[in-house]
Amino acid sequence: MAATGPEHQQTADPAAIRRHRVLFRTIHQRKNPRLRRSDITITDQAAVKRAVKAASLGNAMEWFDFGIYSYLAVIIGRVFFPSGNDTAQLLSSFATFAVAFLVRPVGGMVFGPMGDRIGRKKVLALTMIMMAIGTFAIGLIPSYASIGWFAPALLILFRLVQGFSTGGEYGGASTFIAEYAPDKRRGFFGSFLEFGTLAGYVGAAGLVTALTAVLGDASMEDWGWRVPFLVAGPLGLVGLYLRLRLDETPAFQKLEDASAGASSEAADTVETSAKGDLGRIFRDYWPTLILCIALVGAYNVTDYMLLSYMPTYLSDELGYSATHGLLILLGVMAFLMLIINQVGKLSDRFGRKPLLMAGMLGFLVLSAPAFLLIGDGGILAITAGMLMLGLSLVCLLGTMSAALPALFPTRVRYGSLSVGYNLSASLFGGTTPLVITALIGATGSNLMPAYYSMAAALVGVIAVACMKETAQQPLDGSPPSVCTKEEAAELVQAQAGPEPRF
């Protein structure tokens, strides 16, 4: 798209602009020529669907892997750490959960710029392989009773492999879908990425619940907990196959074409930009980076609080059986899967900001009432409380994967989003179960999860208020993307007018 204002107008005397409006308008038109039909990308609907399927399946696998660890946290604490205090074992398990998030920013800083340099497709295939290996390997580690401290050491090692690979996953997958999708349907197609998130959690919760019901607690702790981790191997191969069949995104292809067809000086500039230099990201895009970190922090705290921590909260803090809590959460997540794509459509129609603000305000206002209901103890009360939180969360889930990639230009999108997302996820997301467990232990209040999510939501409200609306607009640094030739013709026709006279 044309720039919003020519560079010369930012420094020119306003009085001179008023005196010579035609001249300055003509210079602006010359510097920012009208769109031609060849400038507009007409999306291949079959290719878009393949891209969405491959990216979403990878995301589903990622959250399946993290979900099974969350839902098996109590058992993992007993298997991999010395017996003694149950709370200490649980804290050790959640600390190991958080360890993976410590290396996520490192993975983002490695894979993100790599994705801006060599392409989105190759990096997403690499992250898929690493995630599958890390998860599968956890299922093979002997227990603490068998090999002592080597057991938790190996657990931490493979959690680090998981975390490092995840550093390039979300930024790449959301970038991939955003760059494939037409401008007016980016929210709808982007919502499938978080549909994959919920599918991964539902698959993990369903498998853990079924195994617990069939095998019983003793067999689960003995060997049954390994089964969900071992399933990740075949899933990873399927995801890798789908991703390797994809073409590179149209936006990245146009960036490469611009580099190849430019003069040597311009080509050098584009190539340097494509490398997604970290110094440039922090130097030139730090305001947007801070906004991204704030949005993702608020979103991740609420996400992990409900989808990862809630079963442990119900069993360890409120005394319900593990199966009880998982079944209720399973039902809530299945309901959210039914409506998340509709939320994506709403964000295309009404904008990203209204949907994101509704989700943030929902957590700010409803968290305390929801946890009071959950603490009441009845199945209906627990379900109602979790639905209140779930409906707030789905406003974020269905919108965020379209909103975040639009914050950054194409040449640094993968790198910037990976850095911002994973810094925030590391600081606020993966630490959520650990922090909440520690706060409950320190204060004795079962409402600490509500207070923590309310604080995060307040930050989110401020961040949403500061962001620009990007719905139905081309991605920064990319040409318009439409569904049909007729829509492209309408875009060109809308700019019709007399040619500049100078």
| Residues 195-233 pLDDT 10s | 998 898 888 888 888 888 888 878 888 888 899 889 888
Q: At 165, phi and psi to the nearest 5?
A: -70, -35
pLDDT value, residue 436: 86
What dihedral do alpha carbons 221, 425, 341, 182 form, nearest 10°?
-140
Identify any residues that bridge with 481 across adjacent strands, giving them in sequence order. 41
State pLDDT tens for residues 362-406. Answer: 999 999 999 999 887 778 888 899 999 999 999 999 999 999 999
CB contact at 8 A, 121 and 246: yes
pTM equals 0.78
Question: Residue 42 carries which DSSP code?
Answer: E
pLDDT value, residue 498: 52
pLDDT value, residue 388: 93
pLDDT value, residue 172: 84
Q: Which stretches does DSSP call E strand in 111-210?
A: none
Q: Give start and end residues of each alpha helix (H) in 185-313.
A: 186-219, 226-244, 250-261, 264-274, 278-284, 286-304, 310-312
pLDDT value, residue 17: 67
**pLDDT tens by residue, the chain, 502 residues:** 434 443 344 455 666 666 666 665 655 555 555 655 556 777 778 888 888 888 888 788 877 877 787 778 778 888 887 776 666 777 777 777 777 778 888 888 888 888 888 878 888 888 888 888 888 998 899 988 888 888 888 988 998 898 888 888 888 888 888 888 888 899 999 999 999 988 988 888 888 888 888 888 788 888 888 998 898 888 888 878 877 777 777 777 776 666 655 443 333 434 344 444 677 888 888 899 999 999 999 988 988 888 778 877 887 777 777 677 778 888 888 999 999 999 999 999 999 999 999 999 999 999 999 999 988 777 888 889 999 999 999 999 999 999 999 999 888 888 889 889 988 888 887 678 778 888 888 888 888 989 999 999 999 999 999 999 998 888 887 778 777 677 667 766 766 555 544 4
d(CA 285, CA 416): 8
d(CA 456, CA 458): 5
Host H or E run for residue 382: helix 379-403
By three-state DSSP, how is residue 413 classified? helix
pLDDT value, residue 263: 40
CB contact at 8 A, 249 and 257: no
pLDDT value, residue 312: 75
